[in-house]
Structures are given as C-alpha cells and as structure tokens.
Amino acid sequence: MTPPGASDRSQFDAQQRVDAIKTFERELAALEADGVLRLSDAQRGAIAAHHANLVGGLKRDFDVDRDDRAKQLSLGMRAASLLGALAFAASVFMLRC
C-alpha cells in the first residue's frame, strides 16, 4: 500500500526524510543526555513506532537506505556499477578497433 502523498515523492525526498528522522533521533538523545528534555516512555514509544512505520514504508516504496552503513554500501555498489560499465564500454571499443 502506498503511503498518503507518496505519488509526489521521489526516492531522493524519501531518503532525505529517513536521514532527517535519524538526525532527529540523535538530537533527541543528546537533549535527553543533557537534561534539557525528558519524554515519557509512552511518548518515546509513540515516536519510535511512528518513525519505524514511516521508515519501513519508505524502504518498501522507495528502497531507501535505513542507516549510514546501508548508504555506504549503496554508494559502493553505484561506483562498482559505473566502473563495470566503463570497462565494458572500453572492451567494446577495443574490439571494434
């Protein structure tokens, strides 16, 4: 099932939203560690459940990277694909010469 408003979203927008959620989670943890903000367990659980549902939907619909490790893997795969395409093009070019 496509989430509401998903038709006007792109994979780039979806990845930005996932990144924003991760940034929010880190900032929330820092605020709590500094004693600036205290959420109840129910509030923290509601936020975590909402984010998990949202990220899960974005992952399913747009194949976004959930964390930095997945993002690095995707970047590595893109680089490997580019190098493979260049090597293939060079080999075809050499065969024609």
Largest Cα–Cα distance of the chain, in whole Å? Answer: 71
Residue with tokens 């690095």: 72
**pLDDT reported for residue 6:** 52
Which SS3 state, helix, strand or coil, does residue 29 take?
Answer: helix
Nearest in space to 54 (alpha carbons), one of 39, 64, 42, 43? 64
Q: Residue 58: how many CB atoms within 10 A of its CB?
A: 22
Domain presence at residue 21: yes
Q: What angle do CA 44, 67, 32 make, to 5 degrees?
A: 30
**pLDDT reported for residue 1:** 42
**pLDDT reported for residue 90:** 85
* Residues of the chain under the 70 pLDDT cut: 1-9
Domain presence at residue 3: no
21 and 51 both lie in a single domain: yes
**pLDDT reported for residue 2:** 47
53 and 20 both lie in a single domain: yes
**pLDDT reported for residue 36:** 95
Determine phi and psi for 82, rounding to 5 degrees. -65, -45
What residues make up the domain containing 80?
Answer: 67-97
User: Whole-model pTM?
Assistant: 0.63
**pLDDT reported for residue 48:** 96
What are the strands, taking DSSP E only, across 1-97?
none
Q: How many structural domains compose the chain? A: 2
**pLDDT reported for residue 44:** 94
76 and 61 both lie in a single domain: no
Domain presence at residue 42: yes
